[in-house]
């Protein structure tokens, strides 16, 4: 049986720091990221792709706000906005990956699935929003938007500005994961759980209902990787490795690290919430629930021997 890998595209795969987010910028970024998938595909891997949507979903939410204020157009809830960005980003990844594969003479079906992800509506995250969405603002701009709209803002860990934060409940189930596994193991490249999935909960009657939240894409991708029995789970980010004492005296690159070791670093506060900490937790969960190994690295390192930080049992 060929190896199956779930690869979660980080935000920089779509939008780099300092860019405005034009379609040309985003398509070029996606194209470059997809080029780095080629060696894995050529070596026979089956691939499932997840992706983030933090900047994009925040921008869509702003567009709905502006349309409501300017033209009295109905505002749509966050889950609807997540669905919009899941479709638009999935389209970009599918299109650019097709272009890349064609350049290399590779024929593979690419399937983009609009995917709901189930959460617990009583999750404590709804009382403590932490998930950054949308653009960066100055402190003054953030304060005004918070006063005008009742939004919550947190300062970026890298001091790049202030961003709106929304609830980020844990994913608990992914409908249609069996279809994802079947398609992937038959050789199709599947794009799914985009932006962490469209958040929903299940009522006692069995009815599924959308809910205002943005699910962490790494946790959703990790859950999917376990469900489809992936051999590897890889998170692509903007650094080649995980570090302890990052940008501090005694900075140290982590290469191969066991779950207990990286759990200790996590407990010691080595990884920033809203940045590396969720990625590390997602990798730990994948390995603890039966996965062989998880990798955190940048796209340029993907598939290279010894690339990235490898977390194992």
Active site residue 217: yes
Summarize the confidence of residues 15-39 as an average pLDDT.
Answer: 93
pLDDT band at 26, cuts 50/70/90?
very high
Active site residue 11: yes
The pLDDT value given to residue 1: 67
Q: Which of 10, 12, 197, 226 is catalytic?
A: 12
Q: What are phi and psi of 196, to 5 degrees?
A: 90, 0
Q: Which of 50, 53, 194, 217 is catalytic?
A: 217
- Name the average pLDDT for the chain: 94
Q: 180 CB contacts (<8 Å, ≥6 apart)?
A: 48, 113, 174, 190, 192, 224, 228
Q: Which of 10, 90, 131, 291 is catalytic?
A: 131
pLDDT band at 264, cuts 50/70/90?
very high
Q: What are phi and psi of 221, to 5 degrees?
A: -65, -35
The pLDDT value given to residue 158: 81
Q: Which of 10, 53, 226, 279 is catalytic?
A: 279
Q: Which of 11, 52, 58, 274 is catalytic?
A: 11
Chain centroid offset of residue 138 CA: 25
Provide the 3-class DSSP secondary structure of residue 295.
Answer: strand
User: Lowest-confidence range among 137-141, 146-150, 171-175, 249-253?
Assistant: 146-150
> Is the domain defined by 4-241+298-303 classed in CATH 3.90.1150.180?
no
Active site residue 52: no
pLDDT band at 283, cuts 50/70/90?
very high
Summarize the confidence of residues 145-173 as an average pLDDT.
Answer: 92
Does 229 have pLDDT greater than 70? yes
Tokens 């995917």, residue located:
115
Residue 8 near residue 217 (C-beta atoms within 8 A):
yes
Segments making up each domain of the chain, as ranges: 4-241+298-303
Judge if pTM exceeds 0.85: yes
Residue-wise pLDDT tens digits, 166-189? 999 999 999 999 999 999 999 999
Active site residue 12: yes
**CA-to-CA separations, 154 to 18, 60, 151, in angstroms, rounded:** 19, 19, 10
The pLDDT value given to residue 18: 85
Euclidean distance between CA atoms 260 and 264, whole angstroms: 6
Does 273 have pLDDT greater than 90? no
Q: Of all residues in the chain, what percent carry a pLDDT higher than 70?
A: 100
Long-range contacts of 208-211 (CB under 8 A, 24+ apart): 208/116, 208/118, 208/175, 210/77, 210/79, 210/80, 211/79, 211/119, 211/121
The pLDDT value given to residue 16: 85
Active site residue 227: no
Residue-wise pLDDT tens digits, 84-140? 999 999 999 999 999 999 999 999 999 999 999 999 999 999 999 988 888 889 999
The pLDDT value given to residue 92: 97
Residue-wise pLDDT tens digits, 195-208? 999 999 999 999 99
């Amino acid at each position: 049986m060929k190896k199956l890998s779930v690869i979660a595209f980080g935000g920089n795969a779509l939008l780099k720091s300092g860019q405005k987010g034009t379609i040309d910028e985003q398509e070029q970024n996606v194209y470059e990221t997809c080029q780095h998938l080629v060696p894995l595909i050529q070596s026979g891997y089956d691939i499932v792709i997840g992706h983030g949507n933090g900047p994009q979903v925040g921008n869509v939410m702003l567009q709905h706000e502006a349309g409501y204020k300017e033209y009295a157009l109905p505002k749509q809830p966050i889950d609807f906005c997540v669905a919009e960005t899941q479709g638009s980003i999935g389209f970009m990844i599918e299109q650019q990956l097709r272009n890349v594969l064609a350049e290399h003479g590779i024929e593979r079906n690419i399937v983009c699935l609009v995917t709901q992800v189930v959460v617990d509506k009583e999750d404590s995250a709804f009382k403590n929003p932490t998930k950054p969405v949308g653009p960066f603002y100055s402190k003054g701009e953030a304060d005004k938007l918070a006063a005008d709209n009742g939004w919550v803002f947190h300062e970026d860990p890298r001091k790049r500005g202030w961003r709106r934060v929304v609830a980020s409940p844990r994913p608990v189930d992914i409908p249609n994961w069996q279809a994802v596994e079947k398609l992937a193991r038959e050789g199709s490249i599947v794009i799914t759980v985009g932006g962490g999935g469209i958040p929903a909960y299940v009522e006692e009657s069995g009815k599924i209902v959308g809910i205002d939240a943005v699910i962490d894409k790494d946790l959703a991708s990790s859950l999917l990787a376990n469900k489809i029995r992936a051999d590897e789970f890889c998170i692509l980010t903007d650094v080649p490795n995980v570090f302890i004492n990052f940008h501090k005296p005694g900075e140290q690159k982590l290469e191969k690290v066991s779950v207990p070791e990286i759990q200790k670093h996590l407990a010691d506060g080595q990884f920033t919430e809203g940045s590396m900490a969720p990625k590390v937790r997602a990798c730990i969960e994948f390995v603890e629930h039966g996965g062989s190994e998880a990798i955190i690295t940048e796209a340029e390192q993907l598939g290279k021997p010894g690339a990235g930080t490898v977390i194992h049992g």
